[in-house]
Structure 1
């Protein structure tokens, strides 16, 4: 069997997106990338990664199925400005017949500092019924190859974080009731 660039890409660990540019309309009144557009950049990168396993636009058109994000946890580490080129890494942490657990990092493309992380749970959805459905066997097999390639990566420190006030911060200051 002849190996194509698409099949070879399954073995990149983690997957690294192409370089992305920040659009002027995404900059907010603070002079940096508005928080919503971090998700746009992560979304574009994950689309690029999952196209490699057969879950691209052709899949949506031909098989009438896609993947939807069910839960997302973003941590903002360092602000991005208009001139900052970025790349995202994608690590497939786990998957089953209907779900994908993914960890992503957004980094400056030439200086490599970390700007944000995103942990996501995604669901495979039949677009006709709008219900969660199993992956087809060929996509499931490709996901298994990607997961195997990513299984040797270190466990991300940011994984599974819970949002909440630390216990010491919950106590009211003296004199405040």
Structure 2
């Protein structure tokens, strides 16, 4: 059976270092636009923006320490809401550079903001705001993150708190009149 596989699947995660500087924002994922992602308009299809943001989330999960071994313990982060803002087109083979900023977190939830930029021109191509929830996979219910992950999230949040808050965050969709 075919399934979606992230580029980081099977790579584990690096050991967390409490003394290491935490970049603001995190820059954990880059990729060229795959020919499989290009639609009949000659540019990256809208669903593939979400795919690439998902790969960026997976890189973030591994940065935190959430990998296959962690999921074998019956826990993971699930996305409960995503808002994507498409700004510019991306064509086949163009380089994509992604960043991730931790906006907020509590015992069960993580609020992140992604930016997708052109890897050569730095033009903003798209953004995604996501709300993630920590779950017990078997029970299908949200549960608190373990203390070591809450500690890591707090450290990342402190590092990212000085960044200007993105204007797009929390904005409702609609036709302005």
User: Shorter chain as normaliser: what TM range?
Assistant: 0.7 to 0.9
Mapping 1:61-80, distance limit 5 Å: 61=72, 63-80=73-90
> Paired residue for 1:33?
44
Closer/same/farther in 2, CA of residues 130 and 116 from structure 1, 3 Å limit: same
Runs of 4+ in 1 over 4 A off after TM superposition: none
Q: 116, 137, 150: which is aligned to 1:127? A: 137
- Spell out, residue by residue over 1:96-144, the C-alpha distance to the aligned partner (whole angstroms, 9 max, x if none): 0100111110001121110000011111011111111100011111111
Tell me how large the CA RMSD over aligned residues is.
Answer: 1.6
Please name the residue that 1:142 is paired with.
152
CA change 1:10–1:93 in 2 (3 A) is farther
**Contact preservation (8 Å) 1:10, 1:53:** no
Question: Could you say which residue in structure 1 is the equivalent of 2:32?
Answer: 21
Q: Is the 8 A contact 2:79 2:131 kept in 1?
A: yes
Which residue does 1:160 correspond to in 2?
A: 170
Question: Closer, same or farther in 2 for the Cα pair 1:99/1:21, shift >3 Å?
Answer: same
Tell whether the 8 Å contact from 1:103 to 1:119 is kept in structure 2 after alignment: yes
Instruction: Give the number of the structure whose alpha-carbon radius of gyration is greater.
Output: 1
Matches of 1:109 and 1:17 in 2, distance apart? 13
State whether residues 88 and 105 of structure 1, in contact with CA within 8 Å, keep that contact through their aligned partners in structure 2.
yes
* Alpha-carbon shift at residue 40 of structure 1 (Å): 0.8
CA distance in 1 between partners of 2:83 and 2:39 (Å): 21
Count of aligned positions: 163
Please, which runs of 5 or more residues in structure 2 have no aligned partner? 1-13
- For structure 1, the residue ranges without an aligned partner over 5 or more in a row are 168-177
From the two aligned structures, give the one with the greater helix fraction. 1
